[in-house]
Structure formats: C-alpha cells, structure tokens
C-alpha cells in the first residue's frame, strides 16, 4: 500500500544559481515550480485575491499579476500581503511602477531593462532597490517584443535572436552587479522555443522559466507546452514553468502539474489508468472511466485505479494498479493489488471502487 517511488530522473537537473521568489526557491536543485498569471484586473483587489486563492488551491506556487496602470500599482500592497503564494508584478516600461512593486512587498518583478534603459539611470536604481529588498527580477523575452536591433540582425525571432536579447538584457543588470535574475525566452513555436532554451542553458547559469507563448486554446496549448517542456525538462533544463492557455488560469496549473507528474518530477496524485477500449470491450469504457474519475476527484491518496473494458486482458494489463475493475457480461470484477476480490453488477462498479479506494487509503494512513 505504499505509493510508488518516483522513477529515476531522466537526466540530472542543470545546475543553476538559486533565487528566492518569496518563500519559493527557484533553481539550484529546488523542485520545479508551477506558476500562472491572474486574468483579473489587478486594480480589483477582491477579484484578484479570489482568483489567486483558487489558483493556490489548484497547486499554483507563484502567481503573476499585470501592472499596466497606476490603479493596479495601488492594489499591489493589499494583494501581496493577503496572497497565500508569492506575487510577481509584471511591468513594462514604467520604472516608477517597479519601485512601487518592490515597496508593495511583491516577491519578484518581471521587467525587461531594455525597455527602461532610455530612462537615464533607472536600471541602476532598480538594481539597487531590488537588491536591497531581496527581490529577484525575471527578464522575459518573447518573439513579439524582440528588440528592433535584433530583429534586423536575425530577420525574425530565431532562437539565437531570443537568446542574444535575453543575455543583453541581463548584462544591463550585471553592469550594476545585479544577478538575482531568472530568464524566459518564449516563442509560440515549440521547436524554436526548445532550441532557444537549450542555447540559453549553455550560455548562462541563471534559472530558467519555461513557457510557450500564445500556445492557444486548451487542447493545442496543452500539447505544445507538454511537448516543449517535456523535451527540456527531460534534459534537465527548466526551473519553473508556466503553461499559457487561452483558458482560465486554473487549467494552466492542472496541465503544469500533470506535466511534472508525468515526468516523475512531482509526486503523483490519484491516477486513473483506463484502457483505450477495443473490439473485446464489454462495457462503455469511456463513460465508465469518466464516472470513476468524477467519483474520485480530489481523492487524497495517490492510488492508481485501473478501468478495463474486458476480463480477458484487463487485470493483467492493470497489474501496476492499486485497484481496478475489469468489465464483462454486465458485471465488474473488482481487483485490489492484482487479486480479484469480488464481482459486482455494472451499476455498482463506481461505488465499489470508491469503497475500496477508501479502505486502501486508510491502510496507507491517508484519510
């Protein structure tokens, strides 16, 4: 009844310097963290805190909020104080907002110094203020906002262009001795994005924030992010991840956590192992799998529950499962740890599985 031990990692994690985003360590061997961005108006403190609470409940560890106006700046102290997870202020162009975000108690600021260089000595002042407050900076380069100079040099937002841009932005802070930095080099094409992060990981030891920009609606965005993050994380690249979806941010967190669980980089929660069904199936596997998933949603024990369409291969295929069902002739063979313990009518399958799951979790000491 012990949860399966995490598999051996695919590759050693790349050694990065560690930064601290509030109480979350990023880089330097810390577990890969999952983050998202609020979609509320930041100036609406209650709505923003409500969404942050939902994100935190879903397993979000760091949240970013957009700060495009003075009203948003004024909401930051209350949000930073009441949020259960560290808040990163996302700022473009306005150096005074950066100082305000640091004063407000934000755990980090996302800002591209290239955008604020034109304001005389502001980069130096920001480096000093961030340093004094222990606030790290994320430098976020993406295809859409690539420096004009680099667009001309490379013709388009290539991996090389993204990396050169990010390292140049870093150098503007490094000139002032500031290295409390993490970097992202996002692109909407996973191929370019993967190449960019690989290149960047060879050229610096800053922790990396992985993201595919404008990844799209849930299905496409999930596939793009899973493929891109999977390729990089399997090589040990990536210290924190943000899945971007044109969907509510809680969905981003579910996908992000599922990616880490799939790679054995995060302890798995309850897992439904259902067969794809085939001509031998004697039950509607899709519906049964959905019913079992719904009945066990939020179940605390990290059980693997198998839902199999037939008794011929079902239990054998699901040997790795803690419990499960193999259907046949309007009945369900319920098995626990590979042994058939009883056979119940089809209408009782879901409740029997829930009962057995509860028994197992009691045995595991999780209630």
Q: At its nearest, how many Å lie between ligand SF4 and the CB of residue 340? A: 14
| Residue of 262, 244, 265 lying closest to 253 (CA atoms) | 244
Binding mask 312-331 for ligand SF4 (x = CB under 6 A): xxx--x--------------
Quick one: 44 or 317, whose CB is closer to ligand SF4? 317
Task: Please tell me the distance from the alpha carbon of residue 362 to that of residue 274, in angstroms, as a whole number.
Answer: 24
DSSP helix/strand/coil, 251: helix
Q: Based on the shown chain and the rule CB under 6 A, indicate whether residue 81 belongs to the binding site for ligand SF4.
A: no
DSSP 133: H
Q: Based on the shown chain and the rule CB under 6 A, indicate whether residue 341 belongs to the binding site for ligand SF4.
A: no
Quick one: 137 or 275, whose CB is closer to ligand SF4? 275
Task: Please tell me the distance from the alpha carbon of residue 160 to that of residue 149, in angstroms, as a whole number.
Answer: 13
Residues 121 and 152: beta-carbon distance below 8 Å: no
In order, the DSSP letters of 313-363 are THHHHTTTSSEEEEEETTEEEEEETTEEEEEEEGGGHHHHHHHHHHHHHHH
Q: Based on the shown chain and the rule CB under 6 A, indicate whether residue 156 belongs to the binding site for ligand SF4.
A: no
Stretch that binds ligand SF4, among 159-167, 287-295, 305-313, 350-358 (CB under 6 A): 305-313
Q: At its nearest, how many Å lie between ligand SF4 and the CB of residue 326? A: 7
DSSP helix/strand/coil, 31: coil
In order, the DSSP letters of 165-214 are HHHHHHHHHHTTT---EEEEEEBSSHHHHHHHHHHHHHH--S-BEE-BTT
Binding mask 233-272 for ligand SF4 (x = CB under 6 A): ----------------------------------------
Q: At its nearest, how many Å lie between ligand SF4 and the CB of residue 16? A: 43
Q: Based on the shown chain and the rule CB under 6 A, indicate whether residue 276 belongs to the binding site for ligand SF4.
A: yes
317 is in an annotated binding site: yes
User: Looking only at residues 44 through 73 of this chain, which bind ligand SF4 when binding is defined by CB under 6 A?
Assistant: none
- 87-90/33-37 β-pairing: unpaired
Task: Please tell me the distance from the alpha carbon of residue 34 to that of residue 257, in angstroms, as a whole number.
Answer: 7
275 is in an annotated binding site: yes
Q: At its nearest, how many Å lie between ligand SF4 and the CB of residue 307? A: 9
170 is in an annotated binding site: no
Quick one: 29 or 316, whose CB is closer to ligand SF4? 316
Quick one: 208 or 306, whose CB is closer to ligand SF4? 306
Residue set of the binding site for [4Fe-4S] cluster: 275, 278, 310, 317
């Amino acid at each position: 009844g012990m949860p399966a031990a995490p598999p051996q990692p695919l590759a050693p994690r790349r050694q990065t310097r560690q930064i601290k985003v509030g109480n979350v360590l990023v880089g330097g061997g810390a577990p890969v963290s999952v983050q998202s961005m609020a979609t509320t108006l930041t100036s609406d403190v209650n709505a923003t805190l409500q969404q942050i609470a939902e994100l935190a409940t879903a397993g979000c560890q760091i949240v970013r909020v957009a700060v495009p106006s003075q009203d948003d700046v004024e909401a930051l102290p209350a949000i930073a104080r009441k949020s259960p997870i560290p808040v990163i202020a996302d700022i473009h162009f306005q150096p005074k907002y950066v100082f305000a975000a640091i004063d407000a108690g934000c755990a980090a600021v996302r800002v591209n110094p290239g955008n604020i260089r034109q304001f005389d000595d502001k980069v130096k002042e920001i480096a000093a203020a961030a340093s004094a407050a222990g606030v790290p900076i994320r430098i976020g380069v993406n295809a859409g906002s690539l420096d004009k100079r680099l667009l001309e040099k490379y013709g388009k937002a290539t991996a090389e262009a993204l990396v050169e841009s990010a390292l140049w932005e870093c150098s503007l802070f490094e000139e002032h001795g500031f290295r409390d930095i993490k970097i992202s080099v996002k692109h909407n094409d996973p191929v370019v994005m993967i190449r960019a992060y690989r290149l960047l990981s060879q050229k610096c030891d800053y922790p990396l924030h992985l993201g595919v920009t404008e990844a799209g609606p849930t299905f496409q965005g999930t596939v793009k992010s899973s493929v891109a993050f999977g390729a990089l994380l399997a090589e040990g690249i990536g210290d924190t991840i943000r899945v971007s979806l044109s969907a509510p941010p809680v969905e981003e967190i579910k996908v992000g956590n599922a990616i880490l669980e799939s790679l054995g980089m995060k302890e798995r929660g309850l897992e439904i192992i259902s067969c794809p069904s085939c001509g031998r199936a004697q039950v509607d596997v899709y519906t049964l799998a959905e019913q079992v998933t719904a009945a066990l949603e939020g179940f605390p024990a990290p059980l693997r529950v198998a839902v199999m369409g037939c008794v011929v291969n079902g239990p054998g295929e699901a040997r790795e499962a803690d419990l499960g069902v193999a259907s046949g002739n309007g009945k369900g063979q319920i098995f626990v740890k590979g042994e058939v313990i009883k056979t119940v009518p089809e209408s009782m399958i879901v409740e029997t599985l829930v009962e057995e799951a509860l028994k197992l979790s009691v045995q595991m000491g999780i209630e």
